[in-house]
Each structure stands twice: as C-alpha cells, then as structure tokens.
Structure 1
Amino acid sequence: MYLSPRFRAFAAGAALLAASVLAQAQTLPNVVILATGGTIAGAGASAANSATYAAAKVPVDKLIAGLPELSKVASVKGEQVLQIASESFTNEDLLTLGKRVSALAKQGDVDGIVVTHGTDTLEETAYFLHLTVHTDKPIVVVGSMRPGTALSADGALNLYDAVNVAASQDAKGKGVLVTMNDEIHTGRDVAKAINIKTEAFKSQWGPLGMIVEGRNYWFRAPVKRHTMQSEFDIDQITALPQVDIAYGYGNVPASSVEAIGKGAKAIVHAGTGNGSVANRVVPALQKLREGGVQVIRSSRVNTGGFVLRNAEQPDDKYDWVVAHDLNPQKARILAMVALTKPLSAAELQRVFWEY
C-alpha cells in the first residue's frame, strides 16, 4: 500500500510523541492516593456553602480526574479505603488504613503515598501512621476545609501539593507529613486550630516547610522517633486498647473521671494550664491508677501546651505519666500504640519523652 511522504512523516512524528509521553510516564514517581472521605470529598448545595455541606461524597477516581495537573507530577493511582467523615473514625479504621499504607510502602513500584482525610481527626491519624508504619518513603495526609463545590475551595491545591511532596526525594525519611494551606507539617505536631478558615492547621513549633508552585522549601526536620526508628509496628498490631480522655474545667466533678475510666487501660486527663488537676479529681485518678489504669496528664491549652513532670502534681509519688508537649488527642494515640505492649508507668513515660 502506497503511503505519501507527508503521511509517513506524520506517522513518524506521532510515534515519537507517543514514545516521549510513555518515557515520561515511566520516569515519573509512582504515587498511590488512599481516600478515606472527609471534606475534601464533600459537596455543598451551592458554591456559597463553604461551611455547610455533606462530607465523604466524591470517590477518589473523580478527585483525581478533576485534577489533570497531577499527571505532570507523578503516575497516580487511587484507592478508596473508606468513605466516612473523620469524626466517625474508629480504632479499627486506623488499623485498616495503617496496614494498607504499610503494605503499599513495601511495594517496589510505589514511591510515595497520599491519604485524603477529613480534617476533624486528621491529626490523630497522621500521628498514628507516624508512629507505626516502618518506611522511609513519603507518606502525606491531606484534607481540605472547604468542599470542592465551594467558591475558593482549597482541596485541589492541597491535594496537588500532597502528591508533589509524596513524589519528592527530599521528603524521604521525614516521617508522616501533612500538607495544608501551602505548608508542610509533621504528623506529630500538627493540630486543627480553627474550623472555618483554610489556615486551620498549625504546629506548636512551626511547620517543617512550604510548598510554592510545586517546589518544596524545608526549614526544619522532626527529631522525635518515628516510622523507621519506631519500636511499634503496624504489621504486629491486631487491636488497640481503650484509652479515654477526661476534660478538666471549672467545677469539674470527680464523677467525670470515674465514669469515663471504666474499662480503659489508660486515661488522659486534659488539664488546665500545666496539666493541672482539680483537688476533688485527684483521688479519683489515684484510685484508677491503683486499679492498674495508666494516668497521663496532658494540657487542654490549644497550642503550646507543655506539661512538666512533678509540677502541679507529684507524678513520681502517684506513679503518673506526663504527656510532654502532646495535646490530649495525640497523647491518646501514643498511649494506645504504646500499651499494645506491657509497659510500666516509667516505661510509658520514656515513650512520651522519645516520641
């Protein structure tokens, strides 16, 4: 069959273009997005609804399809692990997600992992993964404060930044990260500080870095134990013990601790100031400790809570533990993970200093 020189030239050019596209795809890092729901997968009734909407509505394939710019950053695949609002996360959900992240991290064809998550408990999941997944590959947890249907929605850029970080060699070995509002945070420190602004997530010691137009700028690195250096391994954890939080406030009754501590292996007391405990609550906590329940003093201070041992309360005398700089919800996560092993109060305190 005769082919004109012009057609042959066109065909050769098309073949070269296809080969170039294929070569580029083969050289791009491989990133898997594990979706769990939340606002980033939410939808509002109108574009004006930025704070009232239904969470966990949009599947991961649609999130990826709506962001074609990702194809220039990485070879991206999506997987729907859960589809829930994050306030409904359970311990079993943490284990399911953690084991899937760990399995993917072991694959040679996976360079980085992104977890999309609702913001309400995003900090807890990020810290859980930070403590239990043994890998130096980048793991990035990301969410949004506004649904994708809203004016000035933040989810698309947050997700784009998350994939950028997960695909980056310079993010390796830094533990689990959180990318929100152009900032890179460590999963250990970050916390949701406000609920109606896109700059909702803050770290008490500041972010690790920034992302500007797809480029990472790093300013510090985590120094506490995590991921590859952790003594806790998600692959060895089959269940998490019950750890509850009791909240301190003016006129708080002792019954608030007595009721919440039933069946718990540990109780985190979210105290005022330096983890202070009201005088009428101290005997109730002492009784729990005598019954084998670990007592951990934390602070309800929004950012910068720092609990000193044997200040406010004689922790050595009572055999209590202090949460160091971890907020109550982070202290609960660390206590759950640590108490999958039989630890004394002294050993548990060592864990709180090191992690």
Structure 2
Amino acid sequence: MTTTHPQTLDTLPRVALVATGGTIAGTLIEGSETWAYESAQRSGESLVMNIPGLLRRAQWHFEQPYSIGSQNLELTHMLQLRAALIRLLRSPNVDAILVTHGTDTMEDMLYFLYLTLPAPLLTKPLVFTGAMLPSDADNADGPVNLSGALDFAVQCLPCDQPVYEAPFGLCMQGLFTAAQCVEKQSTAGLDAFDGPYSMLSDSNWFSSLNTLSPPADLGVPGQFSNLFGTDTLAHPLFEAMEVPIVFCVPGNGPLRQLNDLLNRKPASVVVAAPGHGNIPEFCVPVLRRLLLNGVSVVRASRVAAGGVEQGGEFNALDDFREGTLPAGTVGVYSESGSLSLSKCVVYERLRVLTRSLIGL
C-alpha cells in the first residue's frame, strides 16, 4: 500500500509568473452600451489571487516587465521580455515559467523568442497563456487557461525522466502548441489558437508533436540567439530594420508602393502575392531594382495556409537567389516557405540583421 503525503510549502513547485497585460488582464468598460473592454488592467498576482486555490498550488514569484494591450507590442517589449525570461531560465530558484500575453501578437512574440532564446537554456517549462475574453466577462476563459497552463507545466517537470524535453509554447483551452507553430486562426472564439499542430496539454506532448511533424523550415531553437546579449533591452540597428509587406490586390497600387520603397530602401520587402505567390509581371522590374539596391525580396502569399515554395510559374527573380551573385552586392530573393506573413517578417528582420552585422 502506497501512502501519499501532502505537499508542504517547501515541496511545491517554484513557478515564476511573468505578466505582460493583454485581454486576460482586461476589464469590461462600465456603462458601455456595447461589448467593450480595456486590456492590461490587472496584475499577474491579482489574476492568480482571483482563481480559487491557485495560490496554494505553487511557490509563486511574480514579475511584470510591462503592461500593454498586445496590439501595442514594440520591438523593445520583445527584447525586454526576452531578457527577463533568460534571467528566470538561468535561476536555480525557478522550476517553471508561465507568461500571460495578449493574443493579438502572441504569434509574433513566441516566434521571436523561439529564434532568439539560447537553446541550451530551454530546460524548464516555459508556457505562455492568454484569453479571448476579459477577466470580468461572463464565462471568462482566462482563469481556466492560467490554471491549465500551471497544470501542464507541473506535469512536465523533469522529475526522474531519463529523457526530458521541456515544453515551450502556448497552452489555451486544454491544448498545447509549440512556440514555432503558434498562429491565431480566428479573430474571435475561445478556440482561436486551435491549429493543425495543437495537441493535448499533457506530459506526452513531445511524442504528439513528433507525430504531427511540423514543417522543417520554421527554423531551429536559438537560431539567432547570438544577435543579442542575454540582457539586451535595446538594439538600434535591429529596431531600424524595416520589413514592409506589400499586398498585390487589384487597385491596391503595389507598383506605386514598391516604387516608394526604392526611395526608403528598407532591409527587405515581403510581397504578399495571389495564389502560390504569383507576383504580377508589372512588379518584376521594380523588384529587380530593389534587389540591385541591396533590398532583399521575399515571395509570399496573401492566402493564409499552404505556404510558398520554390517553383511554380514564377521564376523571374531566380538569378538573385543567395549564392548566385557576389555577397553583399545585392539583396537576396527567396520564398516564404511555410511561414505565415507575421513569422516571415520576424524571420526576415533577424536574417537581414545577421547579414548586416557580418558584413554580407
């Protein structure tokens, strides 16, 4: 017969909660005749205190590096959160990290961190969560998501497992999505992040992820971690990198927009073209001029799913692919692969920064 002993304060998992605002910390606007709320009105500590019994399930450490609606996310916020997470990942006094974040730019933040957090530090659960409804709404989903994120993180603590993979990604509505695969699928609904690479949030998550086989071109953990110091809070060159998206829509003036970019010379331009990235023929001459002026070009699609691979009917810029011309003389032409437009911009910003720093 096995006897179980109740956990004491000293044996509870040591969990850091990093709160950044978002809808999960939002409150309804009193007296509004429509369904309206303000994001980022509550602290992370108040969110935990408001969930019965949650405070007693861990030894909590609370941090709030900033508090915003995530539509207001800036590059400085991304660097600030990265530095805080690196410090907590290194801390011997933290077993797991939870992060509350707004859903609007959850994808941008997680993909940035996936590419820039040093991979050797990802040895403890790092679990993001959020909400689609503010904290005081009827049927608010934040309490369930935060409680579920804690359950998942604690399940995945290494204990005596011979092979341990620490989860890093998003836990909402009982599902876990690895950081590199997170995409907001809908503007509304509690299942807004249920995607093709979401799985049950339990200790078998890593086996489930391998079964789902995410695309290989999402990059590798820490791919660009050496671009920043571990405590970098600002990087002028990174913040100056401009990566605009030009949508090829009839009547939207993509040619005019591309000509305007010739004057600004951004680091890179993402062309969101119809179908399988079928760039209109009249855009090709100005894209060649941009490439000759050192502006990289990424061929992407305005279609949400499917991605853009090399091939198909568009090959007009193939002679600008990396390796075909002397390094540094021109911009680089490429396809977005399986990256969403949001991920494509994050990846391009980091890639062109790398090229700039090593003098390519």
| Structure-1-length-normalised TM-score | 0.80
Residues 1:70 and 1:326: Cα distance change in structure 2 (over 3 Å): same
Within 5 Å, give how 1:179-218 maps onto structure 2.
179-203=171-195, 205-207=196-198, 209-211=199-201, 215-218=202-205
Residue in 2 aligned with 1:162?
A: 149
On the 8 A contact 1:39/1:143 being kept in 2, the answer is yes
1:84 aligns with 2:68: yes
Residue 199 of structure 1: how far off its partner (Å): 0.6
Residues 1:170 and 1:290: Cα distance change in structure 2 (over 3 Å): farther
Residue in 2 aligned with 1:325?
A: 338
AA matched with 1:220: L
C-alpha distance in structure 2 between counterparts of 1:322 and 1:270, whole Å: 11
Residue 247 of structure 1: how far off its partner (Å): 1.9
C-alpha distance in structure 2 between counterparts of 1:87 and 1:96, whole Å: 16
Residue in 2 aligned with 1:259?
A: 260
1:277 pairs with one of 268, 276, 279: 279
Residue in 1 aligned with 2:225?
A: 232
C-alpha distance in structure 2 between counterparts of 1:131 and 1:188, whole Å: 8
Within 5 Å, give how 1:94-243 maps onto structure 2.
94-134=78-118, 135-136=121-122, 137-169=124-156, 173=165, 176-203=168-195, 205-207=196-198, 209-211=199-201, 215-218=202-205, 219-221=208-210, 225-227=219-221, 230-233=223-226, 234-235=228-229, 239=235, 240=238, 241-243=241-243
Relative to total residues, which structure has the larger strand share, 1 or 2?
A: 1
Which has the higher mean CA deviation after the structures are superposed, 118-127 or 157-166?
Answer: 157-166
On the 8 A contact 2:127/2:149 being kept in 1, the answer is yes
Does the residue aligned with 1:296 lie in a helix, a strand or coil? strand
Residue in 2 aligned with 1:15?
A: none
Residue in 1 aligned with 2:325?
A: none
Does the residue aligned with 1:202 lie in a helix, a strand or coil? coil
Residues 1:76 and 1:298: Cα distance change in structure 2 (over 3 Å): farther
Residue in 2 aligned with 1:292?
A: 294
Does the residue aligned with 2:65 lie in a helix, a strand or coil? strand
C-alpha distance in structure 2 between counterparts of 1:155 and 1:226, whole Å: 30
User: Which residues of structure 2 form unaligned runs of 5+?
Assistant: 159-163, 322-332
C-alpha distance in structure 2 between counterparts of 1:126 and 1:167, whole Å: 20
Residue 47 of structure 1: how far off its partner (Å): 11
C-alpha distance in structure 1 between counterparts of 2:277 and 2:341, whole Å: 10
Residues 1:176 and 1:130: Cα distance change in structure 2 (over 3 Å): farther
On the 8 A contact 1:46/1:149 being kept in 2, the answer is no
1:68-105 deviation digits (Å, cap 9, x = unpaired): 43345432222111111111111111111111111111
Q: Tell me the percent identity.
A: 27
Does the residue aligned with 1:284 lie in a helix, a strand or coil? helix
On the 8 A contact 1:300/1:327 being kept in 2, the answer is no
Residue 144 of structure 1: how far off its partner (Å): 0.6
Which has the higher mean CA deviation after the structures are superposed, 94-103 or 258-267?
Answer: 258-267
| Structure-2-length-normalised TM-score | 0.79
C-alpha distance in structure 1 between counterparts of 2:204 and 2:145, whole Å: 16
Residue 55 of structure 1: how far off its partner (Å): 0.8
Residue in 1 aligned with 2:327?
A: none
C-alpha distance in structure 1 between counterparts of 2:274 and 2:81, whole Å: 33
Residue 216 of structure 1: how far off its partner (Å): 4.5
Residues 1:66 and 1:330: Cα distance change in structure 2 (over 3 Å): same
Residue in 1 aligned with 2:324?
A: none
AA matched with 1:161: G
Does the residue aligned with 1:76 lie in a helix, a strand or coil? strand
AA matched with 2:270: V
Which has the higher mean CA deviation after the structures are superposed, 308-317 or 176-185?
Answer: 308-317
Residue 252 of structure 1: how far off its partner (Å): 3.4
On the 8 A contact 1:73/1:164 being kept in 2, the answer is no
C-alpha distance in structure 1 between counterparts of 2:175 and 2:109, whole Å: 18
Residues 1:324 and 1:83: Cα distance change in structure 2 (over 3 Å): same
Root mean square deviation of aligned Cα? 2.8
1:201-238 deviation digits (Å, cap 9, x = unpaired): 133x321x213xxx5453224665543x5352443665
Residue 117 of structure 1: how far off its partner (Å): 1.0
Residue in 2 aligned with 1:268?
A: 270
Residue 257 of structure 1: how far off its partner (Å): 2.7
Residues 1:299 and 1:167: Cα distance change in structure 2 (over 3 Å): farther
Residues 1:250 and 1:153: Cα distance change in structure 2 (over 3 Å): same
Which has the higher mean CA deviation after the structures are superposed, 185-194 or 280-289?
Answer: 280-289
Q: Kindly tell me the number of residue pairs found equivalent between the two proteins.
A: 318
User: Which residues of structure 1 form unaligned runs of 5+?
Assistant: 1-19, 348-355
1:1-33 deviation digits (Å, cap 9, x = unpaired): xxxxxxxxxxxxxxxxxxx87x62222222211
C-alpha distance in structure 1 between counterparts of 2:303 and 2:144, whole Å: 30
C-alpha distance in structure 2 between counterparts of 1:148 and 1:60, whole Å: 12
